[in-house]
Structure 1
Amino acid sequence: MTARRSRHLATLDPVEVGDHVCWVTGPDEDFAGTARAFAADGALFGDKVLVIGSPEARWAPGGTARGVLVDPAAERPGWDAEAMLGLLRREADTACRQGFRALRVLARMDRVWPEGASPQEIARHELGLDSLVAGGAALVVCAYHRDAFRPGALEQAGAVHPQRLGGHRTPPAFRLFSVAPGCWGVSGVVDSEGAEAFRTALGELFARSATVRLRCEETEFMDAAGMRALAEATRAVPGRRVLLEHANETVRRCWTLLGYDHPLIPVELTP
């Protein structure tokens, strides 16, 4: 599998194994047609299709060996975002044993979180899912309906997917995604508009690991608000350490000028 990179998609046609797409959709879009075409591509590429949604949907798979439908409403109680991760791990392993190329997943996130979700819940779930997808056994599209999630939650969702499609009213300025075990890429601009989403995502990473590696080859710029979010998130969880790899000279100089190059802030910047 090629190295993962962030990108904006015009359609779902180029989605490939290892991709994790945030699809923000609304009532004015042909969700059913697009979803049906994405699921149908499973037969073309030799994928096993997993749909998380409603059995009444016109785009749901037809119950063949190639397609599996899970309705979260029918699985409750006991169904939550963590259960979804477990399901995807099991189905990806099963698809491999059955000889499929990969597991092709389309998830209606308003069915996973019927009451909506907080930015923290979204960051926790999607970062865990992105680690799974990065392993190369699946391609996943997470469909977020604009009417079912608050703007801050949608911003968080866009920030923790490497690929995005559709009508983000305010497209995420940055994206944070898995590039290797224990290592995360940061693309785009980390500024005042995305600082809170960046801080939230970092907090969820610190809950997983004592040392977090952030690769910045695709980071265009990080302003004072982004650096403050990084410093504060690191200090908030004692015993955590950040390696900011491939930070450009401007970022390294500003980090020092802002006084963050300090033993009490365990962040190491490397060129």
Structure 2
Amino acid sequence: MIYINRDVNLIPQKIIEVATRAQNALEKLPLEERKDFIKKKSHIWRSFGKYLSKMSYGKCWYSESRDGGANFDVDHFRPKAEAKRTEQIVDEHGYAWLAFDWENFRLSAQNCNRLNKDDKTEETLGKGSWFPLLPDSPKACWNNRCINEEKRLLLDPVEKSDLEYIDFDDNGRFVQSPYCVGQAALRVRESAKIYGLNLERMREARFAAMKDAKELLETIQQYAEDLEPLGDKASMRTIERQIESLKLKTRSDAIFSQAVRTQLRKLGAPDVFIDRTMDPA
């Protein structure tokens, strides 16, 4: 997960206008008609997909994966239908008023957005309709839309502060940092579970990216150690090419770039090896 700077200027005005008209129509409907109306208008939020993709360089906002063999979903961060708080508690109507609000949309790999069974643990993971809140949190509803007062459990990639305590272990698992405790640690652990961020296939792909970066760094370090003070130009160009290859793996448009950056910092790599030229402001 890496910070996403949402840019409304990437979305055509006509797309925004269609969503606004649907929202205006929704506001006038009685409770019993809202769910069917929203369901029939699914093409509206799907039309935002390619523009959300531009904001993340084609990566899932939750996992940083990019799977050319699968379609992405436009996830409603706050569920448009039911909102599952616990296994026993479900808010039947969820956040219906946010069904057409593009600021509630997140680009999600299907493995993160839909319920899946982990091949290794047999555990069911994925966001589905989950939207748990921390204890004593207010709960927004149609007549009291106090979403800014809610204390959400899930980490949100559009909130920089939510990403401060993210870490990755040596096996590529999404975990909390050693200094993350209490509710902050709970939020990281539960987000990893609900988003399916440690599904075995995803963990393996993340680990592979981290492993490639580690091996590349070790190669650079070995070349540098072996290079004479006035090394030949060919050797110097080789090191430069290796460094550029490593930096490409840290760019915001690279898959699992946050995990790679974390890995390099742990290995003591100089900050110059991290390419932030494409980072959002």
* Structure ranking higher in strand proportion: 1
Normalising by structure 2, we get a TM-score of 0.27
Relative to its length, the structure with more helix (as a share) is 2
TM-score normalised by length of structure 1: 0.28
